[in-house]
Amino acid sequence: MMEELLEQKYPAFYAPVIEACKRTYKNWLTFHNQFTKRNVTLILSLREYELATLVVRRVPYEKIAKQYSISVGRLKNILREIYGKLHVSGRDELAQYVLPTSIQ
């Protein structure tokens, strides 16, 4: 919708603005990935980091929940929070930030 409005109201600026957005997005992803890898232990609490490490190592949810005295449902909620903090969508993406490079 914003693109349509830009194209209608300011056609001369449409192409340069779209190109600048594409460059910015690409650079943002690179920055985000590098920053997150270096600072994952600052972004996540110790408990979140420990849970994330177990999850990416494919430890069953039931075992993790029992170890931390929480329900599987609570564990899944915590994982959603972790995914949100790191802007990832699943275990495989999480692994690139939590596991050392040599293990991946």
Domain extents in the chain = 45-104
Portion of the chain with pLDDT greater than 90, in percent: 50
**In whole angstroms, what is the distance from residue 64 CA to residue 81 CA?**
16
pTM: 0.69
* pLDDT tens, residue by residue, 5-43: 888 888 898 898 888 888 888 788 778 778 888 888 889
Lookup result for tokens 């990416």: 56
Domain covering 45-104 in this structure, CATH number: 1.10.10.10
